[in-house]
Amino acid sequence: MTDRNLTDAPVALTTTMLLEHWQGHRRLTRRVIEAFPDDQLFTFSAGGMRTFAQLATEMLQMIEPTMKGVLENDWSPGGYGRPGPTTKPDLLDAWDAADRALAESWPKITPERFHESASAFGLWTAPVITTLMYLVDNEIHHRGQGYVYLRMLGVTPPSFYQRRPQLAEPGEEER
Amino acid sequence: MTDRNLTDAPVALTTTMLLEHWQGHRRLTRRVIEAFPDDQLFTFSAGGMRTFAQLATEMLQMIEPTMKGVLENDWSPGGYGRPGPTTKPDLLDAWDAADRALAESWPKITPERFHESASAFGLWTAPVITTLMYLVDNEIHHRGQGYVYLRMLGVTPPSFYQRRPQLAEPGEEER
């Protein structure tokens, strides 16, 4: 995705729609964390991969440094890579704190900033929207891996299409 | 995501950017199909889940019926759910055919249509953009599961951030 004239181009997602879309995914990921047996969340993995606690910690630790980079062009890693929570309640608390940081930061991003190029963490140079989409995609990608872990543990994962703040009855839920 | 006034709202993604984003993901998923040993693609799974060939078949079979629904409001299932390809070359051919269908259909979607509500396949009612995002998300989700399968098979998966048409050298590739 590169810079382009946005004035007349048809819109797929407004910035508010993208935030809501991501927040829906974050609610689902939270349910996946909750679905893990307390111990397996921190111990189970397959194929030599990371535990789901480690994957979820990566997801949540990306948010604050990314928002700081987007808002202040300070791309220092912040808390990213620090040892994560070691209990499910602490992981859920950290998850919720990242949600609050996202909700508070997002409205401060100017419309132009989404399409400015930035050297994110010195790792890649891309429009800010590309970096934000990377975080959403990374969450979906690793959460899908959590689904495999849950199935291997004999636990039925939450429905992929349930993204609302409140869990509706299945019949009321959009798929 | 619901109907809203798009005229003045800040833009996250234009429709062209979303298509390119999806096509990047589809290139990566194709590489994941290629990375599987020919037999394991159709036989290996974990936790009682589907094989990666079955998951990839679901992804590609959703595209033509969805495009028909979006363009003609005909939400019949078409080829969805039919027995899929049984060899890797046939699966890759079907994958490429779905790519062509996507590339040909997408420019025909009117700007307004993305935000019209539609009863997709009689399964859910949502703005067309929500249904399109569902397909992208579903592909990322299941492809992430394919990464677990590959790791369990001792195969290193393609890098998650490689989405370009041509594989660049790692140093040239945006992450």
What is the per-residue pLDDT across B147-159, written as a single tens digit (0 to 9) for each?
999 999 999 999 9
In the predicted model, is pLDDT for residue B166 greater than 80?
no
What is the C-alpha to C-alpha distance for residues B166 and B21, in angstroms, rounded to an integer?
15
- Answer yes or no: are the C-beta atoms of A127 and A15 closer than 8 Å: no
Q: How many CB atoms lie within 10 A of CB B53?
A: 24
- The phi and psi torsions of A8 (rounded to 5 degrees) equal -110, -5
Q: Which of A44, A45, A175 to mutate to test the interface with B (most CBs of B within 10 A)?
A: A175
Contact B95, B64 (CB under 8 A): no
Q: What are the C-alpha distances in Å from B138 to residues A174, B8, B100, B120, B156? A: 15, 30, 19, 15, 22
B151 in A contact zone (CB under 8 Å)? yes
Q: How far is A8 from chain B (nearest CA, A)?
A: 10
Are A151 and B125 in contact (CB < 8 Å)?
A: no
pLDDT of residue A23: 96
Residue A8: the pLDDT is 81
User: Phi/psi at B11 (nearest 5 deg)?
Assistant: -95, 130
B8 and A14 Cβ atoms separated by less than 8 Å: no
pLDDT for the residue numbered B164: 73
Segment 1-30 of chain A within 8 Å of chain B by CB: 1, 4, 6, 9-18, 20-21, 25
Task: Write the pLDDT tens digit of every residue in B58-95.
Answer: 999 999 999 999 999 999 999 898 999 999 999 999 99
Confidence of residue A14 (pLDDT cuts 50, 70, 90): very high
Provide CB contacts within 8 A for B172, sequence distance 6+: none
Average confidence (pLDDT) over B31-43 = 97
Residue A3 confidence (pLDDT): 45
